[in-house]
Structure 1
Amino acid sequence: MQPLLSSYSSSSSLTIFLVSLLLVGDHGGARIILPANVTVPAVIAFGDSIMDQGANNNLNTLAKANFAPYGKDSVAGIPTGRFSNNRTPADMLVEQMGIKEFMPAYLDPSLDDKELLTGVSFASAGSGFDPQTPNLLGVLSFADQLDQFKEYIEKLKGIVGEERTQYILTNSLFLVVAGSNDLANTYFTIGIRKLQYDIPSYSNLMVSSASNFIKDIYKLGARRIVVFNAPPVGCLPLQRTLSGNEHRMCAEKHNKAAQLYNNKLQAELKHLHNTLAESKIVNIDIYKPLLAIMKNPKQYGLEVVDRGCCGTGNIEVAILCNRLLPTCLDASKYLFWDSFHPTEKGYNILMNEVVGRHASDWF
């Protein structure tokens, strides 16, 4: 590990430091069959880079993926701002539900009325539940995403009227994905919260912020809300490099913090589900499924799980994963595309696990 890190100049190290604030977070998979009396007109997403469909493309931030080799394996081979070699979980879910093939970013300048009616993503790479997290890279906070959601609602009213808008909000599926940036970066790598909080109290801050956001979108009409917990952040390639030992093993302190947060989040979501009238609030565990994939890669048709396809795979993410670096010959053999984000195949395997276990609880 030391030769790799020492080979970077101080300016490159600063870049690594900044882009390490991004989140971790294939095509095809389980089809979601809705109950006979259930309709889902739209899917609406909030969060960070797992659900960022290009929101950061025009922001003044390093947290971008709108350049090669991102998007390398898409039909047109064109980068869109998605942090993968092709599709994201947001795309997979809307397709699996038969709504549309891709979920657009709300900030996509080509967005039309039809896309608004069937759902958009407000997610911004580098964001988190801790208000300090998005400030570090100048990305959209959850407060910003909430403001955009309010604006979106007014646009819907202008297109289909108030009654139909309320119907869309009540019956849509809302996705909330965040937490990894807070833990892996704001707390551990950057450490700006360590003087104020120990891990238990910081996880309380995260859960409180997540709870408040869910209450906010509930007040605006959301009823079916699916919240993803944190992955084993210590096992992501960049965290292995920065915080693992010389063998790049998983950083167990990071993983224990994620588990503590996940347990508290699950309890809070259960409380919200029981207290917010007519709500369906579901916790989706991605920690255990992702760890299972890492421990048994061959079972899932994978070969490499401790580094990404781009560059060395140990530290490259966002602007460090660029056209000047080599990429692996076959991304389908890799769990990770860059040092933080899964490949399309990795996402597909994970989402098939999630859909298979939880989809019946969403409606």
Structure 2
Amino acid sequence: MLIAKVILFCVYVSVRLSKSDGGLILQKNVSVSAVFVFGDSFADQGNNNYINTLAKANFPPYGVDFMGGTPTGRFSNGKTLSDFLVKALGVKDYLPASLDPLLKDKDLQTGVSFGSAASGFDPKTSTITSTIPMSVQSKMFKEYIVALKKNIGEEPANNIITSSVVVVVAGNNDLILSRRLQHDVLDYPNMLVQLILNFLQEIYTLGVRRIVVFSAPPIGCFPDVRTLVGGPERRCVNEENNVAQLFNSILKQQLQFWRTSFPQLRVAYIDYYNPLISIIENPQKYGFDVADKGCCGTGEIEVTYLCNKLTSTCPDHSKYFFWDGFHLSEKGNSVIVNHILQDLVDALF
């Protein structure tokens, strides 16, 4: 990854917490030079387009509402969590994929996503899905930093990293795929949390000082999980949700303990579970008509290649919380970011 030699000054953004084009922006004066995102399909901005895997979304109707309707590999009809977060943090409008060969210097200097759909912290997960595991994503970040220092100088590069925000959205595929290979219900969430802490430790040693960690969502309420194991009535699957809640409780506790060892580090644990449950149980309250099915096709099972140009979509994309059987619609992502932004701000700044 080559970056032209330029002198980079961290951008100091002065914004306020208010409604702006349907979204919230920060209230405090903060320095956010860049945003770096790691994780799975909730964080993949198109990296899987460039690897040999079936976990792709670079075809219609994905991206139908994104910048002219061109599919980019984002697992949504439009903007993702990452896009709304970088906008809210005052950095830029969209977060690109790190493997995109068309990246410009300014894109690299203000952040990219290393996320890979269907990946996870457990190496078994990415082996099953042929995707980029979290351990490799951290190596990609390390290579990025080396290239950045080489091309713009060590001090400007260090300023980017220390003034950046790192976002981690992963663990969902581990809980769905690799967990079933384990025998002890409690052992696997504990092992997974330890892998997460190891990942965060490595990111910290690279100079990162502000980290956002998303909890697991209520995976038992995702449309395709309801269809596969939710019975004829497609109910939320309690077993899956209970595992997610157990994982979240361990993660939150261990993060609180872990960050006490790093006084310069700020960590925001983001509850991804309860906001989704609230919307799924009360969709009309948040402006949605449907929250138990996706907009694509029947909405019950379609995801990746099953959601394709031959499948129809719902008449009004903004009325569906989910876009496909697993991923949120653009409006769904917007509502979630609006919901969690205050907690993120309070923890990081």
TM-score class normalised by the smaller sequence = over 0.9
The one-letter code sitting in structure 2 at the alignment partner of 1:147 is K
Residue of structure 1 in register with 2:197 after alignment: 211
Of 321, 330, 338 in structure 2, the residue corresponding to residue 335 of structure 1 is 321
1:203 Cα deviation from its structure 2 partner = 0.2
For the residues of structure 2 that align with 1:362 and 1:235, how far apart are their CA atoms?
30
Residue identity (%): 48
Q: Give the alignment partner of residue 283 of structure 1, picking from 253, 262, 269.
A: 269
- Report the CA distance between 1:359 and its aligned residue: 1.8
The CA distance in 2 between the partners of 1:127 and 1:52, in whole Å, is 10
Secondary structure of 1:227's aligned partner? strand
Q: Residue in 1 aligned with 2:26?
A: 32
Is the 8 Å Cα contact of residues 27 and 87 (structure 1) preserved in structure 2? Answer: no
Find the aligned partners of 2:267 and 2:322 in 1 and give their Cα distance.
29
Alpha-carbon distance in 2 for matches of 1:209, 1:31: 32
Partner of 1:174: 166
CA offsets 1:110-138 (integer angstroms, 9 cap, x no match)? 11211111001000000111111111111
1:103 equivalenced with 2:95 (yes/no) = yes
Separation in 1 of the partners of 2:153 and 2:290? 50
- Name 1:144's counterpart in structure 2: 136
1:27 to partner: Cα distance: 7.4
Q: Deviations over 1:218-274 (max 9, x none)?
A: 011111011000000000001101111210000000000000000000011111211
Q: Where do residues 52-131 of structure 1 align in structure 2 (5 Å cutoff)?
A: 52-131=44-123
- Taking structure 1 as the reference length, the TM-score comes to 0.89
Classify the secondary structure of the residue corresponding to 2:131: coil
The answer to whether the 8 Å contact 2:121/2:135 transfers is: no
Ranges of 4+ aligned residues in structure 1 off by more than 3 Å: none
In the alignment, is residue 232 of structure 1 matched against residue 218 of structure 2? yes
Q: 2:227 aligns with which of 241, 246, 250?
A: 241
Deviations 1:266-290 (A, max 9, x none): 0111112111231001210010011
Question: Would you say the 8 A contact 2:212–2:344 is kept in 1?
Answer: no
Q: Is the 8 A contact 1:133 1:181 kept in 2?
A: yes
Distance, in Å, in 2 between the alignment partners of 1:277 and 1:357 is 19
1:19 match: none
Q: Give the match for residue 301 of structure 2.
A: 315
Larger RCO of the pair (alpha carbons < 8 Å, separation 6+): 1
Q: Using the alignment, how far apart are the partners of 1:332 and 1:198 within structure 2?
A: 41
Contact in 1 for aligned 2:39/2:168 (Cα 8 Å): yes
> Aligned with 1:325: secondary structure?
coil
Task: Give me the whole-angstrom Cα distance separating, in 1, the residues matched to 2:83 and 2:67.
Answer: 14
Shift of 1:98: 1.8
Q: Which residue of 2 aligns with 1:305?
A: 291
CA distance in structure 2 between the partners assigned to 1:362 and 1:160 by the alignment: 27
Distance 1:328 1:142 in 2: 34
SS in 2 for 1:176: strand
Residues 311 and 27 of structure 1: CA distance in aligned 2, closer, same or farther (over 3 Å)? farther
Q: Is the 8 A contact 1:184 1:239 kept in 2?
A: no
**Number of equivalent positions:** 330
What is the CA–CA distance in structure 2 between the aligned matches of 1:289 and 1:27, rounded to whole Å?
21
Contact 1:272 1:281 in 2 (8 A): no
Residues of 2 paired with 1:99 and 1:138: CA distance? 32
The alignment's C-alpha RMSD in Å is 1.3
Unmatched tracts of structure 2, length 5 or more: 1-19
Q: Residue 258 of structure 2 corresponds to which residue in structure 1? A: 272
Tell me the distance in 2 between the aligned counterparts of 1:104 and 1:46.
12
Range that drifts further, 178-187 or 97-106: 178-187
Q: 1:29 to 1:258 in 2, by over 3 A?
A: same
**Structure 1 counterpart of 2:327, one-letter code:** H
Is the partner of 1:335 in helix, strand or coil?
strand
Distance 1:95 1:72 in 2: 20
The question of 1:186 aligning with 2:170 is answered no
Cα deviation for residue 185 of structure 1 reads 2.6
Instruction: Tell me the distance in 2 between the aligned counterparts of 1:328 and 1:124.
Output: 27
Kindly indicate whether the alpha-carbon contact (under 8 Å) linking 1:27 and 1:345 is maintained by their aligned counterparts in 2.
no
Q: Contact (CA 8 Å) 1:60, 1:138: kept in 2 or not? A: yes
Which residue is equivalent to 1:161?
Answer: 153
Q: Please list every run of 5 or more consecutive structure 1 residues that lacks an aligned counterpart in the other structure.
A: 1-25
- Report if aligned partners of 1:27, 1:344 keep a CA contact under 8 Å in 2: no
Given residue 142 of structure 2, which amino acid in structure 1 is its aligned partner?
A: K
